[in-house]
Chains A and B, each alone.
Chain A
Amino acid sequence: MKDNEPVLTCRGLSKSFGPKKVLDGLDFAAARGEVIGILGRNGSGKSTLFKILLDLIAPDSGNVSALGLTPDGSGKLRGLIGYVPEKPSFHGFMTVEEVLAFRASFFPGWEEAKAAELCKTLGLDTKAKAGDLSKGNTAKLAWICAASHNPKLLLLDEPTSGLDYLVRDHILNGLISELADGGRTIIISNHRMGEMGGLLDRVCVLKDGRISADHRADFIKTESYRVLARENSPLAEEPGVKVLNRSGSVSELAVFGRDRLQDLKTSGKIDGAEISALDLDSAFKALLGE
């Protein structure tokens, strides 16, 4: 397989729950080896998208192709994807060991030695009851379940939310180790993307049921600007330009792309621009609002 070959393609995905349209003609593709961050506000449809990819729910329309398969309700695709749900839950009466043995039967690529090794690295007691695990240890177990079958595609739904620094470190290191093994495509949804900044190749913003912005991570790092300027006439928001703050005639803008910045400067709409680099968290925040 070549590196730019798509591992995952979604075309025109739509899904409604009652009157609420959660996905509305979403197009999305991921290439082999890519690490993609899906940025979206709470309720923007990230988890719905993941559930469709996992063949847990069917879209109203549109199609999905992942790892050469299409979701058909058989669960075959699910056995090839590593998934960390937002709120992992396990059968509370089982021990960690039993959970792992139980999971192993669903995944053709399950590697018992890897699961044992990960338990050791993460310091997870295999004799403990799943129901007694702390939030941090539950997250570790979810990660071990996702990684132990060496999936070519990993879907992580808010994998670090609510975890302390040390557990988060463990999960990030696990991700990095999977990446170092090569050939893994990883899709991470997170509403606080800053901590993932060093891992991502691409950031997609999910808004109004579709991908509203799709940028290379290094583009966001090198070509997002904070512009402090005097507005000559009230600026209408346009793609790539977002008003962060406005007090009187002075505005603080987030601008994405060198060309966009150049256009803005020569448009006559603003005066006396003071330009600096936009920090990553502010850039993500601006993208979310865009």
Chain B
Amino acid sequence: MIKIDIQSPTPIYEQIKTGFKGLVRKALMLPGDAAPSIRTLAAQLKLNPNTVARAYRELTSEGFFESKRGEENIVSPKAKGLAEADTKNLKARIAEAVADGLKNGLSAKDIEEIINKVKRDTV
């Protein structure tokens, strides 16, 4: 459900966080849903449980998860808002990169090619 690229220079725990925010934004996870346990997600993604634990800890301290029922990590009612804020941020960063690209002499077609390549690699 979350896709991790272990080759990417983006730290894996960041990729996990972004992955969960994506799931909430796409309404595949809703407030009140439980996230998979650290053990389960680590096994699914073939990651060190410590890495997953770090992502969960940060998502909890950001208010995206709430640890209510014992050990479970529950998507909080605030999660949707946080995911949207993340999207806004990402959009701004992409806009900035595109603007830099255009200034550098990239054509709209070059940028489209980049988008297509990224889509192929991540979706």
Contacts and interface: CB of A to CB of B under 8 A. Distances in A.
Interface of A: 33, 35, 169, 172-173, 176-177, 179-180, 195, 197-201, 218, 221-222, 277, 279-280
Nearest to B51: A198
Interface residues of B, number: 18
Among all A-B residue pairs, the 3 with the closest Cβ atoms = A198-B47, A180-B49, A197-B6
A91 B51 CA distance: 39
Interface of B: 4, 6-9, 11-12, 38-39, 42-43, 45-51
Contact of B46 (A199, A218, A221, A277): A199
A176 B7 contact: no
B31 to A, nearest CB: 26
A195 B50 CA distance: 17
Contact of A176 (B9, B11, B43): B43
29 contacts: A33-B50, A169-B46, A172-B46, A176-B39, A176-B42, A176-B43, A176-B46, A176-B49, A179-B49, A179-B50, A195-B46, A197-B7, A198-B4, A198-B6, A198-B48, A198-B51, A199-B46, A199-B47, A200-B48, A201-B48, A201-B50, A221-B6, A221-B8, A222-B9, A277-B8, A277-B9, A279-B7, A280-B6, A280-B7
Contacts of A177: 39, 43
B48 A199 contact: yes
Q: Is the interface of A mostly helix, strand, loop or mixed?
A: helix
A35 B42 CA distance: 14
A266 B48 CA distance: 38
Given A200-B48, A280-B6, 5 more contacts: A169-B46, A176-B43, A176-B49, A179-B42, A180-B49
Contacts of B42: 176, 179-180
B50 to A, nearest CB: 7
B48 A176 contact: yes
A251 B93 CA distance: 33
Contacts of B39: 176-177, 180
Contacts of B50: 33, 179, 201
Contacts of B11: 218, 221-222
A59 to B, nearest CB: 31
A279 B48 CA distance: 19
A179 to B, nearest CB: 5
B114 to A, nearest CB: 14
A277 B10 CA distance: 11
Contacts of B45: 198
B97 to A, nearest CB: 16
A51 to B, nearest CB: 27
Nearest to B12: A198
Nearest to A194: B6
A146 to B, nearest CB: 18
A256 to B, nearest CB: 13
